[in-house]
């Protein structure tokens, strides 16, 4: 069997760092989502780009699937090995290679996590802003085009990856981008690999853009009577051009879950969680502008916190939300929707979603990055109850139709993997086939993360 | 002949809007650079996407080259028809299709120029920020990944195109992107077509991101004793995180040319031209911070102008610079270099460039978008003097080596066309061949702007 032949050669290349124990295979075959276990045939722990290239060349020769693995926190099954093969775990490629304070960028290996990077940067006055919640690896975040709470101000991985080193499907090492702030030199290969979910190659090094830690940071929380009022407040804030660093919605159901989970006592109504970055006067000006807009929408008098520990407590609410929701119903799983719509249609999208879930009798707390028009409904279901699971899938489908009808996208940040493969043609029309042609050109044997993102071949 | 067969069918499709007069062919075969005339066999003036698609289908059937044309202001021969064929002039596709004030975006046809767009937006409080100097078409700006004076704050076309309608090499109409602020749904085709210089398809519609016209705008000019002092002032300003809207260098030679051309009397030393955007207090804060940094570098006391007419006079200096330089030596042509380096290496790059040009005895005023690390040396030469022309080409080559040795790019914003084709392998190594594979996958017969950007097919 071709996979077995590859594994034999990989063992010679990697020795003890090619692992086939049941527990390792099971761990790398799981995900945080509702997909069935899909273990690889082996897990590889390369330590250098050259080892990754050698590994891919062996797999290419034997047409053995190659699936990248960062921390396993992707939500659409991107890192699961649905066709078996070799899982390439980048845990051992976790070095920060070079910090350039003067140019405000950093060169890292793909296994560095965002928290580890920011820890390493602490003394420099710089930070890496993209924050998807999970302490994901930077290679994984690039591969899934992650974003999160700060994208409203600092952009997504699309905007913060300057260049890559990639091992192609042929096992060749290429570099994309430069260390300059811009370039017009040919096709934007960096942007092509960011969000490709490992289907075109494996990222073995990233050059990332850093930002200066702001002189002043203030966080705030503001309650509203209705979700619509909170969302309309967001829309006005964005349209006024207030450069919010974070502006997140948690609806009443989410607040209820967080209160129960973390022993908090927030009023059980929709809240916006906010963060302002800038100079002292800039932050004060932003907070004042926001306060006036919030008051127009019936927002409660809002408090801001400038002490780091108060801010951290506030953001723990947001970061705990998913676990808090899941704790409400032990043993349940969740399908997390991820639609993103133009900001002008956000209130309509959230209200339609809420009404739809209520009509269908689904538990679906709503939270998300509303400054981007992106929100998640956490659709909780009993995995043993096929009827309930189908009800949830049907609701997610209706939400996708809603997003597309409003000019939006089926996924703001979680990506495609296998979870949203069925929506690609609806979102992209004939452009999806064009993605398939790019895939076929760069990975003619289809070994890189097969079965994901692009149309199945014939 | 296959081109002739295509032209016959195109005449039926477009009637009087397929033009073959000598003057039209000559006009569309020229460029603003030093390249030889390269006229197409015909110029088409489509009015709809469907006509563009029909046109490309005819050309595909006959393997007739198709070259897009906006305003003809690209600088690397991107719109010249070096292999003949049909030039598709988008002048008649110049409608602003839809302005969404709430979402701050606009949908336009590719022939709309940036000045026409901003004129149309005047009443909305919004503007499109990318400003390459020339009043280029938005389709052309996207195709060449244009940037210019405001990229330091607002980004390049890469950052400001949200989605595209494209006619592929097969004559199929596809759409990329959505109207949401972000998406993780598959390969970033928008980014692939932006900067592809028409080699993968023709852009027939663009959705562009708009910005709010700032509450306050101030412009300033500040003279320095040396170019190094001016450049070091820029580096400190960027590193301090001052959100400059524009920060441009003109060296002493450029000032001399502008003084002569426009009857001005600026001191003949290097100057920075600046613009600050923000709230009243934000602009005042930025100007104060910049003033302190400039003083540290021996900058002259700098004046700011908040009245629109004063600002416009100041920016006329920058926008006239190229014509002013060319007016110094009637009959001469220029090779304009476009390297872009990491900001930490900018002073070294500019000084090395200046010393090299002096050593070689070349007139080469330096100016540019120094906030991005991007600058132009305008290498003036007599086109009748083969020796002088070669001397200039050799100097440009040395500058490219310099940029690459400093971690930069051969082109910050002018693109590749044919002018920089010879540098692509040096910048990209094996990644250039990968660009060729993408080209072959999306344009297997090589009809879209042949001979540009990608490796020649043997």
Q: Burial of A36 by CB count in 10 Å (0-12 exposed, 13-18 middle, 19+ buried)?
A: exposed
Q: Pick the range with the lowest mean pLDDT from A300-314, B6-20, B172-186, B331-345.
A: A300-314
Q: What is the dihedral of CA B348, B354, B355, B359, to 10 degrees?
A: 150
Q: Which residue of A has its CA nearest to B434?
A: A442
Asked if B102 lies within 8 A of A188 by C-beta distance, the reply is: no
Cα distances (angstroms) measured from residue A83 to each of A30, A41, A407, B75, B289: 14, 9, 34, 49, 58
Q: Among B144, B373, B429, whose Cβ lies nearest the Cβ of A184?
A: B144
Q: Among A130-134, A143-147, A304-308, B330-334, which range has the highest average pLDDT?
A: A143-147
pLDDT at A1: 57
What pLDDT, on the 0 to 100 scale, is given for residue A408? 98
As a whole number, mean pLDDT of residues A312-319 equals 81
Cα distance between residue B261 and residue B354, in whole Å? 23
> DSSP assignment, residue A410?
S
Quickly tell me which residue has 């094996």 as its tokens. Answer: B430
Q: Provide the pLDDT for residue B263.
A: 86
- B28 Cα to chain A: minimum distance (Å): 23
Confidence at B439, pLDDT banded by 50, 70, 90: very high
Tokens representing A191?
């942007």
- Please state which of the ranges A84-98, A326-340, B58-72 shows the lowest mean pLDDT: A326-340
What's residue B423's pLDDT?
95
What pLDDT, on the 0 to 100 scale, is given for residue B33? 81
Contacts across the A-B interface (CB distance below 8 Å):
266
- Asked if residue B72 lies in contact with residue B25, where contact means CB atoms within 8 angstroms, the answer is no
Closest residue on chain A to B342 (Cα): A180
Query: Looking at A25-34, A294-303, B375-384, which range is the least confident one?
Result: A294-303
Confidence band (pLDDT; 50, 70, 90) for A82? very high
To the nearest whole Å, the CA of A155 is away from the closest chain B CA by 9
Supply the pLDDT for residue B1: 57
Nearest to B344 among A103, A192, A438 (CB): A103
Both tokens of residue B50?
């469907």
**Cβ contact A138:A91 at 8 Å:** no
Spatial distance between the Cα atoms of A224 and B212, rounded to a whole number of angstroms: 27
How far is Cα B237 from Cα B192, in angstroms, rounded to an integer? 32
Show the tokens assigned to B78: 């991107």
Supply the pLDDT for residue A409: 98
User: What is each CA distance from A368 to A270, B334, B370, in whole angstroms?
Assistant: 12, 53, 38
Give the residues across from A222 on adjacent strands.
Answer: A272
DSSP state at residue A313: H
Distance CA A416, CA A401 (A): 16
pLDDT digits (tens, 9 = 90+) for B226-273: 999 999 999 899 888 899 999 999 999 999 999 999 888 889 999 999
Most distant CA pair in chain B, distance = 68
CA distance A237 to chain B (A): 11
Whether B431 has a pLDDT exceeding 70, the answer reads yes
SS3 B412: coil
Report whether pLDDT(A458) > 70: no
Q: Where are the alpha helices (DSSP H) in B68-219?
A: 114-121, 138-143, 151-154, 157-160, 189-193
pLDDT of residue A34: 80
Count of CB atoms within 10 A of residue A49's CB?
A: 18
- Gap between the Cα atoms of A131 and A123, Å rounded: 20
How far apart CA B293 and CA B110 sit, in angstroms, is 41
CA pair distance B90, B110, nearest whole angstrom: 7
**pLDDT value at residue A311:** 80
Cβ contact B414–A282 (<8 Å)? no
| Closest CB from B182, B186, B372 relative to A372 | B182
What pLDDT does B305 receive?
75
Q: Which of B99, B158, B186, B207 to mutate to test the interface with A (most CBs of A within 10 A)?
A: B186
Task: Please tell me the distance from the alpha carbon of residue B30 to that of residue B79, in angstroms, as a whole number.
Answer: 9
Q: What is the nearest CA distance from A289 to chain B, expressed in angstroms?
A: 11
Query: Is residue B71 helix, strand or coil?
Result: coil
Q: Is the ipTM of this complex over 0.90?
A: yes
pTM assigned to the model: 0.96
Decide the pairing of beta strands A86-89 and A66-69: parallel
A145 → chain B, closest CA residue: B184
Nearest to B336 by CA among B327, B328, B325, B344: B325
CA distance B397 to chain A (A): 15
Residue B399's alpha-carbon distances to A222, B206, B363, B423, B443, in angstroms, are: 55, 34, 15, 11, 33
The residue whose two tokens read 């692992």 is: A19
Q: Diameter of chain A by CA atoms?
A: 68
Given the DSSP bridges, would you call strands A173-177 and A96-100 parallel, antiparallel or unpaired? unpaired
Helix/strand/coil percentages in chain A, nearest 5? 40, 20, 40
CB contact under 8 A, B430 and A174: yes
| Average pLDDT for A346-359 | 96
DSSP H or E run through B203: strand B201-209
| Distance to chain B for A261, nearest Cα, Å | 30
- CA B194 to chain CA centroid, Å, is 12
Backbone angles phi, psi at A211, to 5 degrees: -125, 155
Report for A13-17, A217-221, B220-224: range of highest mean pLDDT: A13-17
Domains of chain A: 2-91 (3.30.43.10), 93-212 (3.30.465.10), 216-405 (3.40.462.10)
A156-165, B158-167, B284-293: least confidently modelled range: B284-293
Q: Which residues contact B213 (CB under 8 A, 6 or more apart)?
A: B125, B126, B127
Written as one string, the DSSP assignment of A88-156 is: EEGGG---EEEEETTTTEEEE-TT-BHHHHHHHHGGGTEE-----SS--BHHHHHHTT---TTHHHH--
Average pLDDT, chain A: 94
- At residue B458 the predicted structure's pLDDT band, cuts being 50, 70 and 90, is low
**Of A126, A168, A184, which to mutate for an interface test with B (greatest number of B Cβ within 10 Å)?**
A184
Count how many residues are written for chain B.
Answer: 458
Residue B190 confidence class, pLDDT cut points 50, 70, 90: very high
At a CB cut-off of 8 Å and minimum separation 6, what does B151 contact?
A: A182, B130, B369, B371, B372, B413
- pLDDT above 70 covers a percentage of chain B that reads 99
- Find the Cα–Cα–Cα–Cα dihedral B370, B372, B377, B378, rounded to 10°: -100
Cα-based distances in Å from B314 to B230, B244, B283, B298, B325:
18, 16, 18, 21, 17
Q: Is the distance from CB of A245 to CB of A275 less than 8 angstroms?
A: yes
DSSP code, position A47: -
Per-residue pLDDT at B40: 98
Strand A246-250 relative to strand A211-212, pairing: unpaired
Angstrom distance (rounded) from CA B60 to CA B458? 20
The verdict on a CB contact (< 8 Å) between B188 and A416 is no
If we measure between CA atoms, which residue out of B214, B266, B228 comes closest to residue B370? B228
Which chain B positions have a beta carbon within 8 Å of A424's beta carbon?
Answer: 185-186
B308 vs B278: CA distance, rounded Å: 15
End-to-end CA distance of chain A: 23
Indicate the residue of B103, B195, B281 with minimum beta-carbon distance to A344: B103
Please state, rounded to an integer, the average pLDDT across all residues of chain B. Answer: 94
Q: What is the pLDDT of residues B327-359, one digit of tens each?
A: 999 999 999 999 999 999 999 999 999 999 999
Check CB contact under 8 Å for B427 and A178: yes
Please report which confidence band the pLDDT of residue A302 belongs to, taking 50, 70 and 90 as the band edges: low
Beta carbons of B188 and A430 less than 8 Å apart: no
Q: Provide, as residue numbers in chain B, all residues whose Cβ is less than 8 Å from the Cβ of A423.
A: 185
Spatial distance between the Cα atoms of A90 and A285, rounded to a whole number of angstroms: 44
Task: Find the closest chain A residue to B160 by CA distance.
Answer: A159
CA distance A453 to chain B (A): 6
Question: Cα separations (Å) of A263 from A223, A254, A267?
Answer: 18, 13, 13
Angle formed at CA B100 by CA B95 and CA B106, multiple of 5 degrees: 40
Shortest CB distance from B151 goes to which of A182, A239, A338? A182
pLDDT at B312: 81
Please state, in angstroms and as integers, the Cα–Cα distance from residue A182 to each residue in A420, B159, B274, B375, following that order. Answer: 32, 11, 20, 12
Cα distances (angstroms) measured from residue A336 to each of A52, A422, B177, B271, B404: 33, 15, 22, 54, 45
Q: Which residues of A touch B437 (CB under 8 A)?
A: 441-442
Element holding A431 (H helix, E strand) = helix A430-442
How many alpha carbons lie under 13 Å from residue A208 in its C-beta half-sphere?
35
**Option in B168, B180, B434 nearest A340 (CB):** B180
| CA distance linking residue B331 with residue B36, whole number of Å | 15
Instruction: Name which of A145, A178, A186 is nearest B407 (Cβ-Cβ).
Output: A178
List chain A residues with CB under 8 Å of B195: 184, 186-188
Q: Check A176 against B431: CB less than 8 A apart.
A: yes
Using an 8 Å CB-CB cutoff, list chain A residues near B145: 184, 188
């Amino acid at each position: 069997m071709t996979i077995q032949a590859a594994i034999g050669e990989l063992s010679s290349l990697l020795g003890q760092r090619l692992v086939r124990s049941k527990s390792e295979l099971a761990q790398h075959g799981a995900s945080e989502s509702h997909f069935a276990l899909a273990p690889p045939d082996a897990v590889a722990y390369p330590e250098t780009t050259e080892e990754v290239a050698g590994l891919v060349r062996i797999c290419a020769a034997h047409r053995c699937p190659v699936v990248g693995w960062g921390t396993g926190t992707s939500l659409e099954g991107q890192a699961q090995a649905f066709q078996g093969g070799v899982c390439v775990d980048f845990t051992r490629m976790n070095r920060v290679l070079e910090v350039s304070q003067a140019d405000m960028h950093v060169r890292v290996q793909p296994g560095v996590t965002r928290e580890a990077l920011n820890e390493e940067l602490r003394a420099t006055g710089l930070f890496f802003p993209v924050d998807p919640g999970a302490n994901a690896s930077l290679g994984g975040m690039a591969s899934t085009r992650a974003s999160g709470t700060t994208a409203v101000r600092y952009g997504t991985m699309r905007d913060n990856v300057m260049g890559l080193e990639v091992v192609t499907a042929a096992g060749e090492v290429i570099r994309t981008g430069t260390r300059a702030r811009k370039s017009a030199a040919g096709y934007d290969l960096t942007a092509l690999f960011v969000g490709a979910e490992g289907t075109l190659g494996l990222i073995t090094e990233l050059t990332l853009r850093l930002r200066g830690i702001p002189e002043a940071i203030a966080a705030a929380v503001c309650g509203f009577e209705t979700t619509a009022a909170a969302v309309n407040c967001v829309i006005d804030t964005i349209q006024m051009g207030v450069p919010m660093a974070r502006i997140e919605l948690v609806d009443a159901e989410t607040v209820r879950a967080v209160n129960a989970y973390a022993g908090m006592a927030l009023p059980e109504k929709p809240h916006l969680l906010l963060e302002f970055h800038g100079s002292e006067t800039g932050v004060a000006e932003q907070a004042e502008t926001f306060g006036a807009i919030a008051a127009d929408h019936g927002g409660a008098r809002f408090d801001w916190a400038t002490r780091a520990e108060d801010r951290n407590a506030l953001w723990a609410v947001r970061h705990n939300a998913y676990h808090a929701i899941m704790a409400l119903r032990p043993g349940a799983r969740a399908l997390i929707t991820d639609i993103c719509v133009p900001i002008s249609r956000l209130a309509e999208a959230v209200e339609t979603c809420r009404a739809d879930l209520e009509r269908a009798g689904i538990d679906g707390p709503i939270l998300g990055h509303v400054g981007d028009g992106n929100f998640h409904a956490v659709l909780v279901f009993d995995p043993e109850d096929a009827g309930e699971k189908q009800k949830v899938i049907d609701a997610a489908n209706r939400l996708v139709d809603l997003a597309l009808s409003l000019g939006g996208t089926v996924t703001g940040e979680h990506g495609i993997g296998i979870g949203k493969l069925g929506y690609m043609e609806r979102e992209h029309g004939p452009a999806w086939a064009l993605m398939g042609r790019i895939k076929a050109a760069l990975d003619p044997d289809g070994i890189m993360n097969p079965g994901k993102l692009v149309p199945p071949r014939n």
